[in-house]
Amino acid sequence: PTEQRLSCSGTCDPDLLFTNRAVVTLQHDLPEIYSGETITLTCGIEEGGGSEWEYEWRTPDYYTPPNPRGSMMTSSVRGDYSCKGRLKDGGSTTEWSDAFTVKTSGVPQPVLTVSPSWTSPGDSVTLTCSVEPPSAGWRFFWYQAVPELSPNYTYELLAGNTTGTEQDSYILHGQTHTAGYVCRAGRGDPVFYTLYSDVKIRINVLFVLTYPHRLQHFSTESLSLSCEGNSAEWRVMKADESGFMSSCSHWGQMTGSTCNTDTRASSGVYWCESATQSSNAANITTHSGDVILVSPVHPVTEGHSVTLGCTLRTKDLLHNVDFYKNDKLLPNGVGGELFISAVTKSDEGFYKCRGRNSPPGLETLTSAESWLSVEREYE
């Protein structure tokens, strides 16, 4: 062997005269190590090494007796790791290696985006899952979030996705239901998983949420939502701003095909569903200001007309009003209304209204924004 020993005479301990050192290395070329992720550490001997060696380890939470393996797999724990080698024949050892410090980060939560969020039956939709900081090695897993009667979801892997995908996007083809989706990422063997993303709602136009007729409501209003379709067993569903889904029975009273909120309405995405069908959905918002924009709940079909209005909390229509699209002033608002005779895709955008008599810097007479969606005639 290439290991070097110093000569020893008298009563000296040869173990103390062994000059080789051990070095700990991490077999991990990724920028982040996450708490609980399995990592592999290797104990190397500076000059040589081989089958005549065995190794001992000191870790943040335990000590290993000598064993012939020069590497160890461990569920990463923040702290110092060190090792030393021992020759099997004579028991001489290296010094303990310098400590190798493992620094871990909290388990990441990916961000899921859905594009487009509002589609017609049979259209494709793309799910995209992103992990920060981005790095190689991730596989992505895709799930449908199925609401239960209690305030929980069950997550069901989407078809063909048991081992995940190398790509951070997943295309859904021909889906006809409004549904919630989540993703997570995994890497390594055994697989280390991130947290699940927040639930994102994919909205599909199929049957009709017939009421209410406007997207914005005052925070003091209660809300009545009605369903129309070929089913006697509709229920009204809601996804709040965090993505949590619940049925009318949790926050209102279902009577026939209508849900009435028990108290004041709250912002969220609302839709109707039965055992086999889902309606369109509406992103209804509530506001505490004095003015709301009156805009349609449903997408407007190209070539059709649409009228936007501006209403005070007293239910009066404001007449001296400016309308804005994507924060740009529109020149064609007349008498408190904005009329578009034949909408096109270019009319899509975020709209708001503002009373011209609002004092500078006072926003109580400015509405929140709502998205006007334009769809092509469905064939």
Give how many domains the chain has, as a whole number.
4
Here the tokens at position 300 are 């407007």
Say if residue 268 is in the same domain as residue 249: yes
* Alpha-carbon distances of 141 from 111, 171, 215, 352, rounded to whole Å: 13, 13, 34, 39
Of the candidates 102, 125, 144, which is a domain's last residue? 102
79 or 255, higher pLDDT: 79
Give the residue from 326, 324, 378 showing the smallest Cα distance to 354.
Answer: 324
Same domain, 149 and 195: yes
Non-local (6+) Cβ contacts of 1 within 8 A are: 48, 50, 52
Averaged pLDDT for residues 266-278: 77
pLDDT of residue 249: 82
Residues 279 and 294 in one domain: no
Q: What is the pLDDT of residues 343-375, one digit of tens each?
A: 998 998 899 998 876 655 555 688 888 888 887
User: So what's the pLDDT on residue 6?
Assistant: 31
* Contact predicate 68/51, CB 8 Å: yes
Which pLDDT does position 61 carry in this prediction?
A: 81
Domain containing residue 250: CATH number: 2.60.40.10
From 113-127, 136-150, 240-254, 303-317, the region with the lowest mean pLDDT: 113-127
- Cα dist. 143→140, 146, 199, 312 in Å? 10, 9, 10, 43
Among 158, 174, 204, identify where a domain stops. Answer: 204
In a domain, 308, yes or no: yes
Domain that residue 176 falls in: 111-204
Same domain, 134 and 173: yes
Q: Are residues 270 and 327 in the same domain?
A: no
Inside any domain, residue 3: no
Question: Cα separations (Å) of 330 from 136, 206, 297, 351, 354?
Answer: 47, 33, 21, 10, 11
Cα–Cα distance, 313 to 218 (Å, whole number): 7
Look up the pTM and report it: 0.50
Domain for residue 6, yes or no?
A: no
Question: Which residue among 230, 258, 288 closes a domain?
Answer: 288
User: Distance between CA atoms of 143 and 185, rounded to whole angstroms?
Assistant: 11
C-alpha Rg value of the chain to the nearest Å: 32
In a domain, 162, yes or no: yes
Q: Are 103 and 31 in contact (CB under 8 A)?
A: no
What is residue 298's predicted lDDT score, i.e. its pLDDT? Answer: 76
Query: Would 230 be classed as within a structural domain?
Result: yes
Q: What is the rounded average pLDDT of the residues 110-118?
A: 79
Which has the closest alpha carbon to 271: 208, 223, 182? Answer: 208
Does residue 168 sit within a domain? yes
CA 52 to mean position of chain CA atoms: 51
Q: Is residue 182 part of a domain?
A: yes
pLDDT value for 10: 40
pLDDT score for 257: 73
